Amino acid sequence: MKGKTVIVTGSTSGIGAALAGGFAAEGANIVLNGLGDAGLIEAARAALAAAHGVEVIYHGANMARPDEIEALVRAAEGHFGGVDVLVNNAGVQYTEVIEVFPTERWDALIGINLSAPFHATRAVLPGMKRRGWGRIVNIASNAGLGGSVRKSAYVAAKHGVVGLTKVTGLENAQSGVTCNAICPGWVKTPLVDVQIEDRAKRDGTSIEQATYDLLIDQQPSGRFTTFEQLAETALFLCSSAADNMTGTTITLDGGWMAT
Ligand code: NAD
């Protein structure tokens, strides 16, 4: 990855931060993006650059806004001369049954989790095709392959991301640009911590018990998928081993989809 430029959307926290770290460790220059405290983001940016001797910039595009997504890609191209890898990772969660699911939450979730990957992909493709090489890695989810109650918007968005992955792969199959999706099961991040807290409240149990229950309900291994496993998988998708792999999904879910 030395000298390559990688955009990771939603990389101020959780999986995105870990993926940015994984690419930086392999020598890539990084474009960070995401919400959060400006001082903490700047500290993380500087630390990542210093740790790996790479260039790291931050762009604060709100992934709910197509114009800002376009600006993010143009800024990356302007600064580094091109974008080699786009990781569509930014995502939010909201859980409620359909009949009382707030419509504004539906719109926001679909915008950030599904439309943003479309807008970012649309913006990076011309440059990648011109240079004859590019990798688009979509962080979907098991929710892109199966349903779960109370997650209509998230499941619909992630199924959409899997569909977008297929079409992006097909449309660019002979261009040197591949597009694949990683479908993690449970990964211990702030997005899941909220769900563990909700579960503990609902069931009147401890956080430890709710964590165990959440895992064992769906992820037969009983273990979280780790940041390292996700980073290595994203790097694999950018390696020559995956040159002829496109439009498909890799699940890292401890056996969840086999049940
Ligand atoms: P997280 O909450 O730790 O991180 C989400 C990131 O997205 C943050 O950097 C946040 O700032 C950013 N973000 C949110 N809204 C944004 C917006 N409007 N504009 C710009 N950035 C925005 O969550 P995570 O668990 O690391 O999730 C990352 C991705 O992985 C998501 O797409 C999520 O659906 C997916 N995923 C997570 C799990 C899991 O178990 N944690 C499982 C499967 C898939």
Report pLDDT for 64. Answer: 98
pLDDT at residue 116 greater than cutoff 90: yes
pLDDT at residue 191 greater than cutoff 90: no
Question: In sequence order, what are the residues at sequence separation of 6 or more whose Cβ sits closer than 8 angstroms to the Cβ of residue 139?
Answer: 15, 16, 19, 87, 88, 89, 91, 181, 182, 184, 230
Q: Which residues are catalytic?
A: 154
For residue 111 and ligand 1, the question of a CB distance below 6 A is answered with no
Mean pLDDT of the region 24-33: 98
Q: What is the pLDDT of residues 117-162, one digit of tens each?
A: 999 999 999 999 999 999 999 999 999 999 999 999 999 999 999 9
Confidence of residue 71 (pLDDT cuts 50, 70, 90): very high
- For ligand 1, the distance from its centroid to the CA atom of residue 212, given in whole angstroms, is 22
- Dig out the tokens for 101 from the structure: 């699911």
For residue 3 and ligand 1, the question of a CB distance below 6 A is answered with no
- CA-nearest residue for atom 23, ligand 1, is 191
| Burial environment of residue 110 by CB neighbours within 10 A (0 to 12, 13 to 18, 19 or more) | middle
